[in-house]
Amino acid sequence: SFMMSSTSTGSSAKIEINDPNGDFAKIFNITSTSAQGTNAEVVLNGKKMELENNSFEFNGVKFDLKGVSTSDVSVTATRDTGDIVSQIKEFVKQYNDLVDKVNQSTSARPNRNYRPLTEEEREGMTEKQIDLWESKAKVGLLYRDDILQETLSTLRRSLVDNVKGLGEPNSLSDIGITFKGYLKGMAGELGKLEIDEQKLQDAVNKNPDAVMQLFTKTSNLDQKDPNYKSETGYADRLYTDLTNQINKIIKRIGSGKVSDAVDNSQYGRDIDEMNKRMQTLESRVALVEKRYYKQFTAMEKALQKLNSQGSWLSQQLGQ
């Protein structure tokens, strides 16, 4: 047996077999040499629809018609909240990772035994030795760094404050996200976020759009308005806070993308001032060397003249 089908669907689908003698129909026991397709008929929410395809989408829901129903069919659609929960968990993870990195950087004490290498010291070492030395020399460079410590405080305040203009929920605690307290032997966990997963899931199931607004809400106020930040969601707040703190770091040490000659950071200006002082000192040293050279040259000439006069005097006394 075999099957014939049309590339079209619905009422536009039609198959015709040209069999004037009827031989084809006899061989394959076909009672009809033509077939006409029909459209699918669906009554959805009291509205009758005629479709050329058994698969269609309505209000974001995809339907596949499998057959004719003799009774009403109820369809219940629920939103998949798993992706929202996963995104929020990832947000918390990224924040906690940032807290870890900042705490590790600002608590590591510098090792005074590993100072920066001079060019002469580098020449006597292998690349591996240089890399190992410099990795140890860089430990503690951010010890108690005020900008990084301020960054964590700023981020924490942003996450504690409610989002103005929202109903319930309007804070992280409303959806089961709170800050960890101090636990003996676990000081590194202080300041991190923790999730009550059941409370989070319940909040998302109840009103997923309201939960997302906690993170994505925008404000119509000007960014310079003092109330602007309080009306924005947590994701936007953290982005703004981190941008401001990064700008402070760039202002202090530079972006690393420009030369010292045009670097207007605090450290860049300090380095430029030190370079100018070094140039001034080098010029003074050169002047002193030149003056001493002249003095030694004059002294040498005077000694030569004195020796010459002494020789002459000795000759005269010996006569």
Tell me the pLDDT of the chain (319 aa) as tens digits: 566 666 666 566 666 666 666 666 666 677 666 666 677 788 877 788 888 777 888 777 788 878 777 777 777 767 778 889 999 999 999 999 999 999 988 888 888 888 888 888 999 999 999 999 888 988 888 888 888 899 999 999 999 999 999 999 999 999 999 998 766 666 678 889 999 999 999 999 999 999 999 999 999 999 889 899 999 999 999 998 998 888 888 787 766 655 544 466 665 666 667 677 777 777 777 777 787 778 777 777 777 777 777 676 677 666 5
Task: Evaluate whether residue 314 is within a structural domain.
Answer: no
Task: Evaluate whether residue 45 is within a structural domain.
Answer: no
Task: Evaluate whether residue 97 is within a structural domain.
Answer: yes
Q: Name residue 84's amino acid.
A: I
pLDDT at 10: 58
Three-class SS of residue 184? Answer: coil
Residues 237 and 270 in one domain: no
The number of residues in the chain equals: 319
Residues 86 and 162 in one domain: yes
The domain of 289 spans 262-303
Residues 148 and 295 in one domain: no
Distances (CA, A) of 131 to 105, 110, 115, 121, 122: 19, 17, 13, 13, 10
What is the reported pTM? 0.60
Residues 211 and 274 in one domain: no
- Six token digits for residue 125: 């070492």
The one-character DSSP state at 117 is: P
Residues 96 and 237 in one domain: yes
Residues 248 and 268 in one domain: no
Residues 104 and 149 in one domain: yes
> Is the Cβ–Cβ distance between 267 and 252 less than 8 Å?
yes
Residues 198 and 154 in one domain: yes
d(CA 270, CA 275): 9
Report the candidate in 11, 15, 12, 13 with the shortest Cα–Cα distance to residue 2.
15
Structural Rg of the chain based on CA atoms: 42
Residues 224 and 272 in one domain: no
Task: Evaluate whether residue 148 is within a structural domain.
Answer: yes
Q: What's the number of domains the chain is made of?
A: 2
